Amino acid sequence: MAIRAPLSLPKSSASPEIERLRHLTLGGWVAEVVKYVTLVMLAITFVLPFYWMVSSALKNDAQIYVVPPTWIPNPAFWENFATAWASQPFNEYVINTVVRYAVPYTIGTVLSSAVVAYGFSRIKWPGRETLFYLCLGTMMVPFQVQMVPLFMIFKQLGWINSFLPLVVPAFFGSPYFIFMLRQFFMTIPAELSDAARIDGASEWDILFRIVLPLSRPALTVVALFAFIGAWNDYLGPLIYIHDSDMLVLAQGVHNMSRAFQFNSTVQNAYPYLMAVSTIVVIPIVTLFFFGQRMFIEGISMTGIKE
């Protein structure tokens, strides 16, 4: 007589989140509904200004100043984007912003901050913690306090009316990014570095061949923050750059706004300003959209280990 094996019940293929929802009580369901309604309302709150900017860019003066406001442009004036962009040399502003400022600034910030953070996190030397806290203390000094002394220094160096005062300091590290990378580097097992040292690797080899490849999420966060900061920077170029052919996008948008402010006869001034602002914002939104996975991963993992 054959002995049959006991029947095994099939395991549930539902995800842990679905299993959690199945066991919720009435109070738990109410809490879930309130949570998601709150999240949806907050999302609408954040998206609404961007939608209004894009919507205003597609209107004319008649639709802009109507009361109550029109949320959906009818008809939509898509030519506002091309007309507004051609009103000033924005192509030149883009080249100045990206090639001469944002990209060198980002490269300098990532490289220098990574090197300093590696020294603070993976190498033991006397006074390391003291110097690290001193580095963090510089974050409490506002830029308004540094503005005049820095201008005097760069003027003595002959760097005024160039991008050097904006780019060169980035190659000496940023306290905030040094802190972020240090916290991330401390989550990487020290055994990897010890094994590399036994094999004869130098500290530079360990940094560039082991630590940095494992720190791509954190490096992505630093690169995004640095690029966005340079892309949106207005005060720095305003202080150091004077020639009109060296202006950046933030200055171009501001000059366009002032031109429309002092010339009330310009038709569709507000839609044109919103059109240019939309074009300027789109690259940043696109960067975050494609890098959001590594961005969120880097933010969530930074600071796990003290």
Give the contacts of 132 (CB within 8 A, at least 6 positions apart).
120, 182
Please give the residue that has the higher pLDDT: either 19 or 275.
275
Based on the fold, state whether residues 74 and 193 are members of the same structural domain.
no
What integer pLDDT is reported at residue 227 of this predicted model? Answer: 94
Same domain, yes or no: 177 and 47: no
Tokens of 200: 């004869």
Same domain membership, residue 169 and residue 62:
no
Q: Three-class SS of residue 74?
A: coil
Q: Is the confidence at residue 304, as pLDDT, over 50? A: no
Backbone angle region of 127, left / alpha / beta, with phi > 0 → left and psi within -120 to 50 → alpha: left
Report the chain's mean pLDDT, rounded to a whole number.
Answer: 86
For residue 10, pLDDT over 90 is answered with: no
Give the model confidence (pLDDT) of 84-141 as tens digits: 999 889 999 999 999 999 999 999 999 999 999 999 998 888 999 999 999 999 999 9
Task: Report residue 260's pLDDT band, with 50, 70 and 90 as the boundaries.
Answer: confident
Whether residue 148 is contained in a domain is answered as yes
Q: Are residues 67 and 98 in the same domain?
A: no
Structure confidence at residue 303 as a pLDDT band (50, 70, 90): very low
The pLDDT of 219-227, averaged and rounded, is 91
Query: In this structure, is residue 257 part of a structural domain?
Result: yes
**Residue tagged 């406001």 (tokens):** 69
d(CA 275, CA 256) in angstroms, rounded, equals 12
Is there a single domain that holds both residue 105 and residue 220?
yes
CB under 8 A, 24+ apart: contacts of 196-199 = none
Give yes or no: residues 52 and 122 share one domain: no
- Residues 6 or more apart in contact with residue 253 via CB below 8 angstroms: 273, 276, 277, 280
pLDDT of residue 305: 47
47, 82, 117 - which closes a domain: 82
Residue 230 lies in a domain: yes
Residue 157 maps to which CATH number? 1.10.3720.10
Q: What percent of the chain has pLDDT over 90?
A: 51
Quote the CA–CA distance of 93 and 245 in Å, as a whole number: 8
Asked whether residue 5 is assigned to any structural domain, the reply reads no
Residue 292 belongs to domain spanning: 87-301
pLDDT digits (tens, 9 = 90+) for 148-193: 999 999 999 999 999 999 999 999 989 999 999 999 999 888 898 8
Give the amino acid at 17. E
Q: What pLDDT, on the 0 to 100 scale, is given for residue 264? A: 66
Q: Is 4 exposed, middle or buried (0-12, 13-18, 19+ CB in 10 A)?
A: exposed
User: Same domain, yes or no, for 77 and 93?
Assistant: no
223, 238: one domain: yes
Lowest mean pLDDT among 92-96, 160-164, 198-202, 267-271: 267-271
Report the domain count for the chain: 2
Question: How is 139-188 classified by DSSP, letter by letter?
Answer: GGS-HHHHHHHHHHHHHHHT-TTSSHHHHGGGGG--HHHHHHHHHHHTTS
Q: Quick check: is 77 in a domain?
A: yes
Alpha helices in the chain (DSSP H): 16-22, 26-57, 61-64, 79-86, 90-97, 103-121, 128-137, 143-157, 164-167, 175-185, 190-198, 203-206, 212-214, 216-232, 235-240, 249-261, 269-301
